[in-house]
Amino acid sequence: MKIIKTKCPAKINLYLKVGNLRKDGLHNIRSRFQLVDLYDDLMIKKTNCDFLIKSNLNKKKFLQNNILNLAHYHLTQETGDNLRCEVSLKKNIPIGAGLGGGSSNAASFLVATNKLFKLGLSLGKLNKIAAKIGADIPFFMHGKNAYVYGFGNQLAQSKNYNHKLLIIYPNLYLSTAMMFNEFDKANITKKNLKNDFMYVFEKNYSEVYSFFNDANDKYGLEFLMSGTGSCFFTPWVRNESTKLFLEKIPKKWRFFLVEPLQYSPILNI
The per-residue pLDDT of the chain, averaged, comes to: 94
pLDDT for 26: 80
pLDDT for 120: 96
Could you tell me how many residues make up the chain? 269
Strands 27-46 and 224-225, by their bridges, are: unpaired
Strands 52-55 and 27-46, by their bridges, are: unpaired
* Fold matches, 3-159 and 165-258: no
| b/e map 122-159, b = 16+ CB within 10 Å | eeeebbebbbebbbbbbbbbbbbbbebebbbbebeeee
Domain positions in the chain are 3-159, 165-258
| Chain-centroid distance, C-alpha 33 | 10
Catalytic residue numbers read 11, 136
pLDDT for 140: 98
103-138: pLDDT as tens digits: 999 999 999 999 999 999 999 999 999 989 998 999
pLDDT for 189: 60
- Indicate the SS3 state at residue 78: helix
What is the architecture, at CATH level 2, of domain 3-159?
A: 2-Layer Sandwich (3.30)
Ranges in the chain, pLDDT < 50 = none
pLDDT for 27: 86
What is the architecture, at CATH level 2, of domain 165-258?
A: 2-Layer Sandwich (3.30)
